[in-house]
Every structure is written in structure tokens, then in C-alpha cells.
Amino acid sequence: MPINQPFQYSKEFEVLSFQVDPKGNLRWASLGDLLQEVAWKHADSRDFGQALFDKGLVWVLSRFHIEVKKMPRWGDKIRVETAGRGVSKLFALREFSVSDASGNQLAWAMSAWLLLDINSKRPQRPAAVLPSELFDPIADENIVPARVEIPLIQDHHTRIKVLPSDLDMNNHVNNVSYIRWIEDVALSNEFSMSSLRINYLAEALCGEAIDIAATKVGNQTFISGMHEGKGIFAAAIE
């Protein structure tokens, strides 16, 4: 649900040829890249990006909810906006909006991030490091992206291997790689995908095999990723 408050940071992009699918639409994974880039730029501009990384802390995406009204196309000029939307327990919440050159909203997203100690992997309280004017310590619990519950019975099984190209500068699987895996499952099975809810459950390591399964329930498709019985991600698309 979009929040009726001003955004705090924006950046303009042109959709480039290597970011689109065979129909000329921006890929979901490329959309994820743009959202992640703007989140980092905003954080770094207010000293809770690289400055925290230099102190041994890292932001990890835990939950993501993305709604697409109309996917941008090759050559389109778009604006991506973001803002901190409060702190809920250990979650720092961040909203995004994507609009076209005329100001029409094309996509919206809400995300929940954890701040981890790089060495211990233990979560830290984000309210202690975030600017209070950007992240109100008290957030509306209704805006926190929901947990995704995966049905017990699943089909459409496939297995992928985590490759070096999936890793980010922290040597972790980039959150956008998970979106790309989900996008591939949707395209391969002709599942509709205008919205995505994903919970990042556990770290996947380079070389690991991820078993992905999907099943349709009504107008939703639930997709899970597992490694040796451990949940890696849980997602729902429709």
C-alpha cells in the first residue's frame, strides 16, 4: 500500500537494451537492480551506506513487495524515488516508486531490511544508526511486507546452481539473483507476474544447488527455494 508522504531521494534512468526482455520490457531483475541502486545511493548520501560498511555493518534485504502497473520499455526515461518509512523492531522499512517521464506511476515497492554485523551475522537495532528524520522509530505495522506461507504440495520443480555471477561485492548472493530465478520460473511456466512478494530466509553460497518448486493456488503462484531441506527463499507472484 503506497504511503502518502513525500519521497526523500530520486534518480533518473533510461531503460537500456541489455535490461529488457525479448518483448522490449524491462526485466524484473533489472527493475530490482534499479531499486537496489537507488536505495544504496540514498543511504550513502546520508552516511548509512558505505559509512556503516566501513564499521563492519551491512544492510541485508529480508522482505520485498513489488507491484508493477506497467513495466517500462526500452528507451523509456524513468524516475525511481525512495524514502525511509520507519523502523519496526529489527526492520528498517524503505518505500520505492517508479514513474514515467510524465509522472505516471509505473511500479511501487515496500522493503524491509536488517542491519547485520558482518562478522557475527547478528542483527543490530537500526534505530541506533539511522537518521530519525528519515526513519521514524515507530512505524505502522500494516506497511511491513508480510510473511509468505508456502503450501505443502508443490510441483514445477527445477534445480539451479549458485554461480559466481550471482555474488555481490560482499561475496553474498545478490537479492536480485533471487528475483531473476523467480522470473525465469514464471517465464518458463507461463505464470503471470505483475506483483512479487519475496521473503529472503537464509544465505545461499556459491556452488550450492537450490531446489526451486512452484504451485498455483487461485490467482497466486507460490515459489520456494530450498538447499538440502533448508528454506532459502519463499515468494508469491500473481
pLDDT over threshold 90, residue 142: no
> What's the pLDDT at 139?
61
* One fold for 9-143 and 155-237: yes
The closest of 87, 80, 95 to 37, measured between CA atoms, is 80
pTM above threshold 0.85: yes
Amino acid at 76: D
d(CA 156, CA 185) in angstroms, rounded, equals 9
Least confident range from 1-5, 47-51, 116-120, 128-132: namely 1-5
Map grid coordinates 556459491 to a residue. 206
CATH code given to domain 155-237: 3.10.129.10
pLDDT over threshold 80, residue 137: no
pLDDT in tens, 111-135: 999 999 988 989 999 888 888 877 7
Give the number of C-alpha atoms closer than 13 A to the C-alpha of residue 122, restricted to the C-beta side: 3
Average pLDDT over residues 88-105: 96
Burial classification of residue 121, based on how many CB atoms lie within 10 Å of its CB (0-12 exposed, 13-18 middle, 19 or more buried): exposed
The closest of 88, 90, 95 to 136, measured between CA atoms, is 88
d(CA 97, CA 76) in angstroms, rounded, equals 16
Considering all CA atoms of the chain, what is the largest pairwise distance in Å, rounded to the nearest integer? 48
Class of domain 9-143: alpha beta
> What's the pLDDT at 141?
81
d(CA 215, CA 199) in angstroms, rounded, equals 17
Average pLDDT, the chain: 93
The alpha carbon dihedral of 42, 44, 46, 51 has a sign of positive
Domain definitions of the chain by residue range: 9-143, 155-237
pLDDT over threshold 90, residue 103: yes
> What's the pLDDT at 155?
82
Model confidence at 211, in pLDDT bands (50, 70, 90)?
Answer: very high
Q: Which three cell numbers stand for residue 74?
A: 526500452
pLDDT over threshold 80, residue 162: yes
The closest of 165, 212, 157, 222 to 191, measured between CA atoms, is 222
